[in-house]
Structure 1
Amino acid sequence: MARYTGPKTRISRIFGEPILGNGKYLGKNSNPPGQHGPNRRRKQPSEYALQLREKQKAKYTYGLLERQFRKTFEEASRRKGATGENLIKLLEARLDNAVFRMGIAPSRPAARQLVSHKHITVNGEVVNIPSCQLRPGDVVGLKPKSAGNTALTSNVRGKNQKYTWLDWNEKDLKGTFITYPEREHVPENIKEQLIVELYSK
């Protein structure tokens, strides 16, 4: 299973944001990584550098590697509407992201693990593919055996109310992917237009 397994705090320090993890060390040491990080005088980043930075930020945020991210972008470009907004919608419609947004798992890597270990169902069927694209109306939940596991259910915290494109039933431990989210409702600090410009070269 292809995924980033390196140091998480290092990635957060590169972008100056808690991309992975809670970012609790950013306040103590917000310098870029490396022995010359504190003293390095950086030139004004080029246009390409800014575009690449946004692409890398999106990849790390949603837990994709280059090939999978490129395929997602190509799918977004084939759909009607703005390519950048379509890209964010497709990333938000990934099963592992929906599990995280619904509060079933505390983080995207944890959600990815739940999916790959066959704890998650979509419309009553067990799905173990984290990149599975949800469609409006799909119901996501824990399979019955997993729902009885207190080690798993203790981490369920419920959906944040600001995620209006998702519904969550705490009693049944099931959630519904209502619709694709509008860009202004997705809280991630990603400038998707720069990613479109990068891939358009």
Structure 2
Amino acid sequence: MARYTGADCRLCRREKQKLFLKGAKCESPKCPLERRPFPPGQHGRNRTKESEYLLQLREKQKTKRTYGVLERQFRKYYEEATRRKGKTGETLLQILESRLDNVIYRAGFAKSRDHARQLVTHGHFLVNGRKVNIPSYRVRGKDIVSVHEKSVEMTPFLVAREDASNATPPAWIESIPSKMKILVHSLPSRQVIDTQVQEQLIVELYSK
């Protein structure tokens, strides 16, 4: 499985905004973006010339990096979104939000999407009673995501239970920390997705 193995904080600096890839570190004074709010590299402080293409490209890169998806998979999601009914950009975001790793992160059971991806890969989660170890697995309305009974008392999940009790998940899912379960009521509409993305710019980029 291909994945990004570089420094996550460089991605936030490249996009000039927090993508919340490192969990609690992103909220602390140790966040590199707080100390160096400019792109990484030798020419990071230089002023770049804004263009329509650059805005579209940066929006696509920001979205990919926020959800932890590489280009090939992201392109497949976009092509799937174009085949579905409705607005392509909104459908693309719905597909990204329905990924299992994102659902676990949104419910507060993981500190970041990377953390959620690791927990899923290690086989700690069940969907409707069946073990799923594929982070990109797509949940559907009425699905029940739960922690494997053998994993519930492991330290990461004891911590997650406390953290999830204080988290506020989006309206389309319901978190039950006492039972370490997530109820997926329905797939999200664009109005309830709080990711700061201008999806129309992505559509314009891929439509060229």
TM-score normalized by the length of structure 1? 0.94
Amino acid at match of 1:190: V
% of aligned pairs identical?
49
Q: Which residue of 2 aligns with 1:88?
A: 93
| Kept in 1: contact 2:105–2:112 (CA 8 A) | yes
| Kept in 1: contact 2:9–2:32 (CA 8 A) | yes
Residue aligned with 1:121, SS: strand
Residue aligned with 1:87, SS: helix
Aligned: 1:152 with 2:157: yes
CA deviation map 1:34-65 (0-9, x unaligned)? 12322x1322x221111111111111000011
CA distance in 2 between partners of 1:42 and 1:171 (Å): 50
Taking the TM superposition and a 5 Å limit, the aligned residue runs for 1:45-56 are: 45-56=50-61
CA distance in 1 between partners of 2:44 and 2:121 (Å): 37
CA deviation map 1:142-198 (0-9, x unaligned)? 000001213332133227435000011122110111111121221211110011111
Aligned residues: 199
Aligned: 1:41 with 2:47: yes
Q: Which structure 1 residue ranges, 5 or more long, are not aligned? A: none
Q: Which residue of 2 aligns with 1:14?
A: 14
TM-score normalized by the length of structure 2? 0.91
Q: Which structure 2 residue ranges, 5 or more long, are not aligned? A: none
Alpha-carbon distance, 1:10 to partner? 1.1
Taking the TM superposition and a 5 Å limit, the aligned residue runs for 1:92-131 are: 92-131=97-136
Amino acid at match of 2:139: L
Residue aligned with 1:196, SS: helix
Higher helix share: 2
CA distance in 2 between partners of 1:31 and 1:55 (Å): 19
Amino acid at match of 1:33: P
Residue aligned with 2:78, SS: helix
After the TM superposition, list the runs of 4 or more consecutive aligned residues in structure 1 that deviate by more than 4 angstroms. none
CA deviation map 1:23-44 (0-9, x unaligned)? 7221211121112322x1322x
Taking the TM superposition and a 5 Å limit, the aligned residue runs for 1:50-69 are: 50-69=55-74
| Residue number among 122, 144, 147 corresponding to 1:142 in the alignment | 147
Amino acid at match of 1:88: L
CA distance in 2 between partners of 1:111 and 1:35 (Å): 33
Q: Which residue of 1 aligns with 2:187?
A: 180
Residue aligned with 2:160, SS: coil
